[in-house]
Amino acid sequence: MSLPEETHSHGPLTFPDNFVWGSATSSHQIEGNNINNDWWEWEKRTQPADKQSGIADDHYNRYPEDIELLKSLGHQVYRMSVEWSRIEPEDGIFNQDAIDHYIDELKMLKENGLKVMMTLHHFTNPMWFTRKGAWLHWNAANYFERYVKKIVPIFGEYVDFWITLNEYPGYVFDAYGRGKFPPNVKNKFKMIWAMWNMSDAHCKSYKVIHKYDKKAQVGVAHNVTSYNALHKHSFRENVAVWVLDMFGNHALYWLTGIGTHDFLGLNYYYNRYLDGGKSFVPRVYDIETSKKDVSDMGWEVRPEGIFDVMMDFSDYRKPIYITENGIASTNDDRRVRFLLSFLKEVYHAIAAGADIRGYMYWSLLDNYEWVEGFTPRFGLVGVDFENKQKRIVRPSAYVYKDIIKNNGIRHDLLKLLGHSIRVEEVVKTG
């Protein structure tokens, strides 16, 4: 049998022109000293010292250095969040110093040629809002809208893409459904109510931003999961897959209306199997006890999963931006293989018709990983938390830089998916 000639071309896997490459972070996870939000209050009250955010990456002071890093690593887009609790530390009172700080950061990003994707809410709430009942308050969406109305005209000129809310279905599940995140409520009805209010907050923000700029690009960063039946022919497992897919992946767009999304922001981390072997109602299969490849978070590393969800979401016929995808690992070789194997699937999804316009690796920096503290290492750039938060650029960052520079994956890089060669042999590090 002979293979088609192009099979032997050893050419690169080239992405579409204008595809944007970059990375993502969030304010509370990197800024440090976000003393006016509900996470800070909860950490102080319930967490051991090493699981409190403290000065985190000290990004609030070191942003010029981090922007320099973004630039030197070739990133084209930076997804960042602004901290509501800094901008509006008290009910209806806005802090000009915080606003000026972000203007400065945004200006610097622009001067360095970066596109900005700005997230307006990434898991944290100002304490005054929490004291009122946060997302359970009947007026919650209006409070959020007031903040959005204030900042959009101020930051708008620097922003290329807006993310109103980060992963809010997952957030309401953690904060109001299973009580893992503050305010630690465990009540399914309250969870649904919070979900309703946040959907409303998104819709209101969408209108505010479009009133300011008709051409604005607005979306949500939505955490999507590829679901599978553990036993291919199990009827119950396949029903469970369908139900979770509908509610976990798609309900957000029914609640908000697909018309309030100029693009789909998709965060991809999870591949899940539904197991009906031990109970009548299938449960999520415990991957950590399986022999599968898992990250330091205990999440399965399954590149084909990103292909599956991209194909599924391409049915909405909206541009897609991968707003987060990454691996927690102290072994950077794993991150290199993660990047290559996931991007190879993204390439195939585009070739198969998905309109994917950009990719943002999570995360630029090691950071404060919520309840897990600082142990999980997601960064292309490591942070030495014992040594004045020193930044250490990892080899994976140079592999990614090479991909960005070539707008695709050179054939040589694909060899890194095996284990016999080292990054230095195919990419210039440093």
Using CB under 6 A, which of 52, 124, 223, 325 touches ligand BGC? 223
Nearer to ligand BGC, 123 or 144 (CB): 123
Under the criterion CB under 6 A, does residue 83 sit at the interface with ligand BGC? no
Nearer to ligand BGC, 15 or 78 (CB): 78
Contact string 131-150 vs ligand BGC (x = CB under 6 A): --------------------
Nearest to 124 by CA among 134, 133, 132, 116: 134
Report the first-to-last Cα separation within the chain, whole angstroms: 44
For the record, the structure tokens of 247 come out as 């509610």
Q: What is the DSSP letter of 12?
A: -
Instruction: Give the nearest distance from C-beta 135 to ligand BGC in angstroms.
Output: 17
Element (DSSP H or E) covering residue 227: strand 218-229
Cα 127 to chain centroid, rounded: 24
- 31, amino acid identity: E
Which 240-279 positions form the footprint of ligand BGC (CB under 6 A)? 267
Task: Count H helices and E strands in the chain, helices first.
Answer: 16, 13
- Residue 27: CB minimum distance to ligand BGC, A: 10
Helix (H) / strand (E) element for 316: namely none
CA–CA distance, 93 with 87 (Å, rounded to integer): 8
CB of 378 to ligand BGC, least distance (A): 6
CA distances from 192 to 150, 340, 384 (A): 28, 38, 40
Give the DSSP H/E element, type plus range, for residue 374: none
Closest to ligand BGC by CB, 223 vs 238, is 223
Q: Please, which residue, 58 or 369, has the CB nearer to ligand BGC?
A: 369
Q: Residues 176, 362, 398, 400: which binds ligand BGC (CB under 6 A)?
A: 362
167 vs 262, beta carbon nearer ligand BGC: 167
In this complex, which beta carbon is closest to ligand BGC, that of residue 27 or of residue 205? 27
Selected from 166, 228, 260, 396, the binder of ligand BGC by CB under 6 A is 166
Q: Which residue do the tokens 């990983």 mark? A: 369
Distances from the Cα of 105 to the Cαs of 78, 159, 366, 399, in angstroms? Answer: 12, 12, 20, 26
Give the shortest CB-267-to-ligand BGC separation in angstroms.
6
Sign of CA dihedral 222, 182, 370, 227: negative
Compute the least distance from the CB of residue 299 to ligand BGC, in Å.
Answer: 8
Q: Does 26 bind ligand BGC (CB under 6 A)?
A: yes
Residue of 38, 43, 105, 324 that binds ligand BGC (CB under 6 A): 324
Q: Which residues bind ligand BGC (CB under 6 A)?
A: 26, 29, 166-167, 223, 267, 324, 362, 369
